[in-house]
Structure formats: structure tokens, C-alpha cells
Amino acid sequence: MEQRHLGRTGLRVSRLGLGTMTWGRDTDEQDAADQLKAFVEAGGTLVDTADVYADGGAEYILSQFVGDLVPRDELVIATKAGSVPDPDRRFDTSRGHLLGALDSSLERLGTDYVDLWQVHAYDPATPTEETLATLDLAVSSGRARYVGVSNYCGWQLTKAATWQRAVPGRTPLASTQMEYSLLQRGIEREVLPAAMDSGVGLLASSPLGRGVLTGKYRHGTPQDSRGASPYLSGFVQPYLDERGRAIVDAVATAADGLGCTPLQVALAWVRDQPGVSAPILGARTAEQLRAALSAESLNLPEEIGEALDDVSAPVHYYPDQDWQQL
């Protein structure tokens, strides 16, 4: 699998990443082992997790495989911190919470350091400077090699990235993780241009439009799908509208013409967008993951990429870029 630099840093990651959000919840330890084995055999290195996935269970399951199934130095382990189980405060990126969360993650992961440590989301209750200084401390103490953010809007990312590069001794942000797919191109308005301008690599979550771009919902809702789950149906529903159907149909048409699957087409489109370092693949089973990994060999013809761009184009209003020409 091709390796790419993560933003404007020396860290190289596989251009497809493995997500672990289902581990310990929908994916048991044996299935998780099968996923990791398939991923590594395909040349993958980037494994993304978080301290809140299965209440820490995903990190613990990953620790069971490192060393035995795959050497530690062959993985780029990324985790996140900042989410809290508090109905009045969804995120806490204060120094006290973050450093405690990092130590707990390292204990669960069974490692002395993580390759990439990410703030899970912006916390308006904590000064940005305090959060960023905590990222610096994680690096200077050796507990993290690189740092990034997640779910930051354009101005938040620009503020954080500029601060880190402008102040001597600070650790530049390596990455930002955001949802990005043919069904969700909102980050193209400000976040993606900000990331590219700041030298921050994008890790694209939900690159298959929460599963909708695989085409599984074209003729109904499968009983074993997220769309049929009482807990996750609301997560899928926004992409099952008329616009979503038109995009899925276009992806399916492209796949038919190329002799491949809609999944491969949708994933290759995200992977090859400017500024993207790696899409993060989330799968319940090793079989699903292998199907996604097969997109590595697909290169979309330019005319198909342009057609998909057109059918899924987001609406840009004032004051987005190029508004003067409207």
C-alpha cells in the first residue's frame, strides 16, 4: 500500500487507515484480530482509535495484538482524547483532563507512546492556548510523537495551526480528522482549504457516507445494517434523501462502467482528493474490511472523477471562495 506524509511532517502513514470504533462493541476480539491481520497484510500501518470507543475497550483490544500479531514499530497508532460522558459538557480539553486521558490510553494500549495524539473536538470552555500547550507537553514528555485535532471548523483549525507554527518551540499540528465523502463535502468550504494552507493532513472519517455509498440501501434497509439499528438509524437517515440517492446512483453507474464495486469508487474518490492523507475505514467484519482495502488498486479515470464531482457538488454561498464570480 502506498505511504503518504501526514501533512507537512516527516510522519508517513498508509493511504488507507483502519478505524476501530466498532471494536469491543459490534466487533469482538477475534474479528478485530482478523481485521488487523488483513490490514497489515495489505500494507496498512495507520490504526485510529479513541479513549471513548467502547469506553476504552477498543484501545485495550488493540493492545492484545501489538507485539504478537504485529510489531509495535510497524504500526502508526493514533488515538484521541477530550470526549467526556457528561450531559452538560460533551468535551473537556483542559490540561488536567487531557493528560489524565493520555496516561489512561497508554496504559490500555500497553505502550509508552502513541504516534499521533488527537484532540477529539473543540472545547469552547477551555482556552485554545491551554489545549495546545497540553499537546506540546505530550510531545516533549515523549508520550506522543505527533499531535492533531478532530472536528475543528475552519477558523478553529486556522487559529490552532497558526499558533503552533508562529510560537517558537511549539509542535506543529500534523493532522485534522473530519467526516468527508461524496455525500458530505462540507469541509471543502473552509476546513480543507485551511488544512492545506497550514500544512495539516486530513484524515477522512466516514468516507463511505456512513455506509450509504456502498449501495446497500438502494432497494431498502438491510436488517443487519446501521440503518435498521434503533441506536444508529438516525446516523444514517440524513443521507437517504433524494440528493443522496442521486449520488449513490451515479457511483453505482461509474462502478458498472469500471467493472468494480460502488464501495471502491466512493473510497478511491476520497483517497485521491487534494489534502487527504488517508481515509479511515470502519468495518464490523474482516470481510467488509477486505472489500474496502481492494480499492487500493483502483485509479479513477479523470472524467469519472469530474462527473462525481458535479453530481455531488456542495452549494457555496457568500462569502465562500470565488463568490465574487457568481
Q: Are 182 and 269 in contact (CB under 8 A)?
A: yes
3-state secondary structure of 18: strand
Amino acid at 126: T
C-alpha cell, 195: 488544512
Rounded Cα–Cα distance for residues 65 and 19 (Å):
15
Given the residues 53, 122, 146, 239, select the one marked as catalytic: 53
Q: Are 154 and 191 in contact (CB under 8 A)?
A: yes
In DSSP notation, 177-221 reads EEE-BTTB-GGGTTHHHHHHHHT-EEEEESTTTTTGGGTTTTTS-
Sign of CA dihedral 119, 125, 128, 132: negative
Rounded Cα–Cα distance for residues 253 and 259 (Å):
10
C-alpha cell, 282: 470502519
Q: Buried (b) or exposed (e) across 42-65, using 16+ Cβ within 10 A?
A: bebbbbbbbbbbbebbbbbbbbeb
Q: Are 86 and 97 in contact (CB under 8 A)?
A: no
Element (H, E) at 266: helix 262-271
Q: Does residue 318 have an active-site annotation?
A: no
Rounded Cα–Cα distance for residues 247 and 104 (Å):
42
Active site positions, annotated: 53
